[in-house]
Amino acid sequence: MTPQEISEKLAAKFGGVSDIGLEAKLDAPVDPTIKVSPNHMLEVAKFLRDDDDTQFDYLSCLSGVDLKGKLAVVYQLFSMVKRHKITIRVEVPTENPSVPSVESIWKTANWHEREAFDLFGIIFTGHPDLRRILLPYDWDGHPLRKDYQVPEFYNGMKVPY
């Protein structure tokens, strides 16, 4: 399916749902993207995986983005069966960055979501084991946020040059 058809399919299925926030940006310079509200991400993901026409059985990447004031999670989906792809995007306010975990749908999201939590502080609700994955457990803050300040010391070791 083309991104256009996928977007129309989603609109036909979820168009009637209030606050779904479906917003297709298919002429994006890199990847055709469909925006979804965080409240409905789980059902949209489940539909995209299980529907016979889409069959997105593979989450190739899950990334976090800091948009200054908002945080975004970007899901890049691919279908091994249908050989098509689409990008889904969810945006949440920085004060309450809570997104439903898609770990129950694509197992690979487990570590990806831990990484996004570690570096951006995005809280994935329903994640079975939301711990830091790269930084030490006693680290303060989320370093890939735009407003992150590098600490002066970490465990007695001077950090700046």
Q: Which residues bind other proteins (CB under 8 A)?
A: 135-136, 143, 148, 150-151, 154-155, 157-161
On whether the CB atoms of residues 92 and 71 are closer than 8 A, the answer is yes
- Whole-number minimum distance, CB 112 to other proteins, in Å? 19
- Whole-number minimum distance, CB 59 to other proteins, in Å? 26
Q: What's the number of CA atoms in the CB half-sphere (13 Å) around residue 152?
A: 0
Identity of the residue, 52 or 153, whose beta carbon is nearer to other proteins in the bound complex: 153
Identity of the residue, 58 or 154, whose beta carbon is nearer to other proteins in the bound complex: 154
Strands (E), 5-154: 23-25, 33-36, 58-66, 70-78, 85-93, 98-100, 123-125, 153-154
Identity of the residue, 18 or 153, whose beta carbon is nearer to other proteins in the bound complex: 153
Identity of the residue, 30 or 157, whose beta carbon is nearer to other proteins in the bound complex: 157
- Whole-number minimum distance, CB 142 to other proteins, in Å? 11
- Whole-number minimum distance, CB 7 to other proteins, in Å? 38
Cα separation, 101 vs 74, in Å, equals 13
Burial letters 56-70, b for 16+ CB under 10 A, else e: bbebeebbbebeeee
Identity of the residue, 22 or 144, whose beta carbon is nearer to other proteins in the bound complex: 144
On whether the CB atoms of residues 32 and 3 are closer than 8 A, the answer is yes
- Whole-number minimum distance, CB 153 to other proteins, in Å? 10
